[in-house]
Amino acid sequence: MENNSLWAKYLNNKKNDEIDEYSNVDVLIIGGGLCGISTAFELKDSNLNVCLIESNKIGSGTTSLTTGKITYLQDKIYSDLISIRGFDTAKKYLESQLFASKLIKNNIDKYKIECDYIKNDSYIFSLDEKDKTKIDKEYDFFMKTNINAEIVDNLPINFPCKYALKVSDTAVFNPIKYINSLVDIMKNKVKIYEGIRALEVKKDNNLYVVKTTKNIIKAKYVVVCTHYPFFIVPGLIPFKTHIEKSHVLAAKVNNIEKFNAISIGKEIYSIRYHKDKDSYLLFASESYKMSNHIDYKKRQEELRLKFKKYFNSDILYEWSIHDLTSNDLLPLIGKIDNNNLLVATAFNKWGMTNSVLSSKILSDIILGNENEYIDLFKLNRKITIKSTVNFLTDSINISKIYIGTKLNKNKSFYNDTVKFVTINGKSYGIYKDKNGKKHKIRNLCPHMKCSLIFNFMDKTWDCPCHGSKFDVDGNVIKGPSVYNIKIDD
Ligand SMILES: Cc1cc2nc3c(=O)[nH]c(=O)nc-3n(C[C@H](O)[C@H](O)[C@H](O)COP(=O)(O)OP(=O)(O)OC[C@H]3O[C@@H](n4cnc5c(N)ncnc54)[C@H](O)[C@@H]3O)c2cc1C
């Protein structure tokens, strides 16, 4: 079994071009996931000089870990949005998701993109009678918005289900094959660099100056598509979002079923099928706020047990993934400042449609085009009572997590391969590898100084507050931290 996602084998080893020590561009896009690549793609035919930098391999972030459903049926988001921001906002959000789904399909048709796109039905379902009213509310919303939806009492497979809502015109695909094709199509129009990490963004008159691990790039527009923005914007990021982690596995099956589904209620189960030359079932569950559980290996074992209970197939891939959610459930897309620093984040686990939607909004802002969704997702949108309550709850949770990491109350969880020591008042983590070699790190995330936890599944040090990931020697693997852990910080 591979401790990797089903999509990882499609990540390309793109040969890195040499980048100039100083470069000047019109638009610098930071981050080469679905969001960044789609934004570059939208700008490819403009007269602008566009450059994209990716700290790792193109697509290797959250996009390579997703379940890859392209659907507007997203848990019970519409009734939640109605309660936070009203019916009109929920309706506009629905339209934006339909628009983005169409954009993906149009690209696939226009450029004949091979990405295992399969049209199928989407379901939300409940395992418990008492969640019936939640599903009914989504159904009522679809009736009012003229969406064909149907209440049913089972799924197309043998899986516990008391009550479900089904819609059509949704799809699944292989997101990495999709973005690889976009990269190929725009290869002579947009400069794309891998292995370059943006470290800081500063304003210098009308330009932004971006310091990276390889060079300095000056740009009129900077678009931050790094999943979790790597800088702190007081009052906004990370304060308007929280992160949730889930575990996923993929097993080989004989046939695919043309549907995808996600449960609502206490336990989340996400199911989809995938077909390339073989057929697979993807199964995700065990969702939690990252700070609430630290034994990721155990969560993955729980997932395997759940899978074995319902299915009889060999598990070939397993992985975990986290995503950001904003306190009013709407992604944050648009200008960070009053100038030309743009961002797209907090896709609430629905980043296939929302990345592509972001690409259109952000490119329209840059090109000066009108876009009917700019106001809906702008960062300084009006605060509502409910979003304020969520904001306060998130802030309290984040503070609790921060303090919790300092108290290090989870010490008993670690076995003798991981130890914590305090030297001159500073906490250090020591990991002993299978050869007995000890790796010592300062137990402090460079991003916002949370203390770290050891992830036995990936053999990494992870930040439970904001999701940064470091190897056993403290080298950063995933942001928002852009810096390695300094031993003497
Ligand atoms: C369990 C789970 C299942 C999901 N399933 C679905 C689904 O079925 N459908 C759906 O619509 N959404 C789904 N999502 C959400 C979706 O996968 C994500 O929202 C989406 O992939 C985010 O794409 P992105 O381009 O914003 O981020 P990423 O793919 O993470 O891209 C960001 C890139 O920026 C790079 N980067 C970071 N920092 C820097 C830096 N400083 N300099 C340069 N580069 C940098 C990273 O290396 C990375 O490649 C799911 C999420 C979860 C948690």
The per-residue pLDDT of the chain, averaged, comes to 91
Instruction: Compute the average pLDDT of residues 167-173.
Output: 97
**3-class SS at 175?**
helix
Residue 35 Cβ inside 6 Å of ligand 1? The answer reads yes
By most ligand atoms within 8 Å of CB, the mutation choice from 19, 29, 63, 282 for ligand 1 is 63
pLDDT at 14: 67
For residue 347, which atom of ligand 1 is closest to its CA? Answer: 19
Residues comprising the chain, all counted:
489
Where does CATH 3.50.50.60 sit in the chain? Answer: 8-65+177-238+329-382
pLDDT per position as a tens digit, 250-287: 999 999 999 999 999 888 999 999 999 999 999 998 77
User: What backbone torsions phi and psi does residue 248 show, to the nearest 5 degrees?
Assistant: -135, 150
- Single-letter code of the amino acid located at 471: D
pLDDT per position as a tens digit, 11-52: 987 666 788 888 999 999 999 999 999 999 999 999 999 999
pLDDT per position as a tens digit, 346-388: 999 999 999 999 999 999 999 999 999 999 999 988 877 776 7
Residue 409 has pLDDT above 60, yes or no: no
d(CA 303, CA 281): 14
Residue 245 Cβ inside 6 Å of ligand 1? The answer reads no
Instruction: Compute the average pLDDT of residues 141-155.
Output: 97
pLDDT at 238: 64
Torsional sign, CA 141, 68, 44, 345: positive
Which residue do the tokens 């031993």 mark? 487
Residue 66 Cβ inside 6 Å of ligand 1? The answer reads yes
pLDDT at 482: 93
Where does CATH 2.102.10.10 sit in the chain? Answer: 408-478
CA 205 – ligand 1 centroid, Å: 32
Which one has a higher pLDDT value, 298 or 113? 113
User: Per CATH, is 408-478 categorized as 2.102.10.10?
Assistant: yes
- The CATH number corresponding to 71-83+113-173+243-325 among 3.10.180.10, 1.10.286.10, 3.30.9.10, 2.50.20.10 equals 3.30.9.10
CA 324 – ligand 1 centroid, Å: 9
pLDDT per position as a tens digit, 278-329: 999 999 987 777 666 667 778 888 899 999 999 988 999 999 898 888 889 9
Q: Which CATH class is domain 8-65+177-238+329-382?
A: alpha beta
Whole-angstrom Cα Rg for the chain: 22
pLDDT per position as a tens digit, 51-83: 999 999 999 999 999 999 999 999 999 999 999
Query: Model confidence at 411, in pLDDT bands (50, 70, 90)?
Result: low
pLDDT at 292: 62
pLDDT at 344: 96
Residue 483 has pLDDT above 90, yes or no: yes
Residue 356 Cβ inside 6 Å of ligand 1? The answer reads no
Residue 299 Cβ inside 6 Å of ligand 1? The answer reads no
Q: Closest Cα to atom 27, ligand 1: which residue? A: 227
Residue 353 Cβ inside 6 Å of ligand 1? The answer reads yes
By most ligand atoms within 8 Å of CB, the mutation choice from 6, 73, 226 for ligand 1 is 226
Which one has a higher pLDDT value, 90 or 393? 90
CA 81 – ligand 1 centroid, Å: 23
Query: Model confidence at 176, in pLDDT bands (50, 70, 90)?
Result: very high
pLDDT per position as a tens digit, 196-255: 999 999 999 899 999 999 999 999 999 999 999 988 776 666 666 778 888 999 999 999
Residue 474 Cβ inside 6 Å of ligand 1? The answer reads no
Residue 30 Cβ inside 6 Å of ligand 1? The answer reads yes
Query: If you write DSSP's letter for every residue of 286-318 in order, what string do you get?
Result: EEEETTT---HHHHHHHHHHHHHHH--S-EEEE
Where does CATH 3.30.9.10 sit in the chain? Answer: 71-83+113-173+243-325
Instruction: Compute the average pLDDT of residues 466-484.
Output: 93
